[in-house]
A and B are shown apart, each in its own frame.
Chain A
Amino acid sequence: MKEEKRKIYYLFSPYLRIFHWIMVLAIVVLFITGLLVTKPVTVLGIEPTYTSMSMDWVRNIHFIAAFAFCAAFILRIYGFIVNKGDRLFPRVWEGHFYSETIDVALHYMLLKPSHAPFLRNPLARSSYAGLYAMVLVEILTGFAMYYMTEPSEIGGLLFGWVNVVLGGEMMTHWVHHIVAWLIILFAIGHVYMVLRADIMEAEGEASSMFSGVKFLEHVPKDANEVEPPKEAK
């Protein structure tokens, strides 16, 4: 049997990994409770007086998950500062980014048999930038609705302008709701692409979000962007 020489690439700091899984949990909780807030359900046709379907609780869970999610960004930012592998912003200022993105996109469109191997592929990185943009919209619109219970307090002053920009608080609800669905669409695509990279391209994507490292046989194209790899024992 051919001997495999694999190298260990250290990518994701524990801060990013913990943040990632908090985000996953938060998005699931926020999405479910969010749908319940928009369309409260009647449990099993029982009169609501006798059920535990409490909007108060649903909203509280929604808000707690939202604050936890926002707080988790502290981990994300710290990881970004201390670890090269956490810096996932698409390198749009580098010329090769565009050709590489097209290369990957052509492969995903099944027009090319394969794409160059990456530790963190440029198309995926762009999609993460898109996700963060969507999360930002959710945070701004969410706090705009949340804090406007007291328009003159600090929260209302910080986020109240969002309602004006979007042309009314009704639109804020609307945008918040639509973007929530877009995030779910992203999540479906994201899970698929990660599993696909794992199974089809032997990239070790899924495990890297637990262990922080990738064991790779091949040399990825963007290896120079992170710490030099170690030899696997």
Chain B
Amino acid sequence: MDKRESMWDLYLKKGMSRRTFVKSCVALTSLMGLSTDQVSKVVEAAEQKPLPVVVWIHGHECTGCDESFIRSGAPLASDLVLSQIALEYDHLLSAASGAPFEAHLEETIEKYKGNYILCVEGAACTKDNGVYCMSGGHTFTHLLQHAAQNAKAVIAYGTCAVSGGIQAAKPNPTGSSGIGYFTGGTPVVNVPGCPPIPEVMTGVVMHIALFGTVPPLDGEGRPKQFYGNRIHDTCYRRPFFDAGMFAESFDDAGAKAGWCLYKLGCRGPETYNSCGNLRWFQGMSYPIQSGAPCIGCSNAHFWDDGAMTERLPKFGQPIGDVDQIGAVMAAATAVGVAGHAAASVVQKKKRIADEKKNEGAGEE
């Protein structure tokens, strides 16, 4: 096997200064959610570790995750793709195509067996043997299984890859699901979001690249440093929530003044992501900041959790929401109870009358 270049080798080759290199490492360190005293470790890894080989495949999806990925600001997506990872195969970004391209995938898998990182976007399509999503003449599930079992780690990018996404919304005609079932024993990092935040995407792949291990994961397999907080708990509009100041409609004074969007169906209280603290596109904004309630795009079934502008799912007219149903049922119960009480009184009177009659009959 030929010697593979490290990040530092590549920087030297391109004539970039040591200063630029160290700056990149510092940016990477903070991006991966590590404390600043880890900088030396990151520098060390970037100097010595060969660039990680990455295979990036796409299943049942819209490639919106890639649209997000190429907008990563720190590190720049171009830096990442060209000088921080060795991207050997990518359905979307590769210039090559056809049989030679597919042959290159086989070569890569063979050559770097157990050493490459597999990035997966898109759901696995399972119905009718997976024929609804084909790639290179095979079903996507076949490609996924083949590539995953030889990988060092799998990164599931986007809600589709994690739990099926929009394809898996009811009635799920293609039987789409997350990729978890097809990855065998290879460790999987779930990076949900529709799409995930660009810096989260680059941060996760760089963590595996530099440290050779998957980042600390929570119970749902998501990296803790990016999915350890509720959006609601990190939201800059939280003080408005606590003070009871809510926008009642999308065009009222409260909405203009930037009050809490809770009543407009904001999913912040149920959603774990970094939108509240990292924000999007180098901290420029995020949905809530732009006045749109969070739709909970990193949640597994967010397409099916009721209308996105409603606090709780409704059942449609004329039934209404759970509070209306509850109030009607409580009223019905109260009426039923009153009716039962009246009937009981009648029954008791009848019983006493019968008993008296029987007693009378006995005495005679």
Please report A residues at the B interface, Cβ cutoff 8 Å.
Answer: 35, 38-40, 42, 48-49, 51, 53-56, 58, 108, 110, 113-114, 145, 148-149, 151-152, 157, 160-161, 164, 167-174, 177-178, 181, 184-185, 188-189, 192, 196, 200
Contact = CB atoms under 8 A, between A and B. Distances in A.
Contact of A151 (B228, B246, B248): B228
Interface of B: 218-220, 224, 228-230, 233, 241-246, 248, 262-263, 267, 269-272, 296, 299-302, 305-306, 311-313, 322-323, 325-326, 329-330, 333-334, 337, 340-341, 343-345, 347-348, 350-351, 354
A192 B341 contact: yes
A40 B244 contact: yes
B244 A168 contact: no
Contacts of A148: 230
A165 to B, nearest CB: 11
B237 to A, nearest CB: 12
Nearest to A184: B330
B230 A113 contact: no
A49 B350 CA distance: 62
A35 B330 CA distance: 15
Nearest to B306: A170
Contact of A168 (B301, B344, B351): B301
A39 B323 contact: yes
Contacts of A167: 300-301
B326 A184 contact: yes
Nearest to B241: A55
A32 to B, nearest CB: 12
7 A-B pairs with the lowest CB-CB distances in the bound complex, closest first: A181-B326, A56-B242, A169-B270, A192-B337, A53-B244, A170-B305, A113-B351
B238 to A, nearest CB: 10
Contacts of B348: 200
A156 to B, nearest CB: 8
Contacts of B229: 149
22 contacts: A35-B323, A38-B323, A39-B311, A40-B244, A40-B262, A42-B246, A48-B245, A49-B243, A49-B245, A55-B244, A56-B242, A152-B224, A164-B219, A167-B301, A172-B270, A173-B269, A177-B322, A181-B325, A184-B330, A185-B329, A185-B330, A200-B344
Nearest to A54: B244
A16 B230 CA distance: 39
Contact of A48 (B244, B350, B351): B244
A149 B233 contact: yes
A47 B129 CA distance: 58
Contacts of B269: 145, 169, 173
Interface centre among B270, B344, B354 (most CB of A within 10 A): B270
Interface centre among B230, B244, B245, B262 (most CB of A within 10 A): B244
A147 B248 CA distance: 28
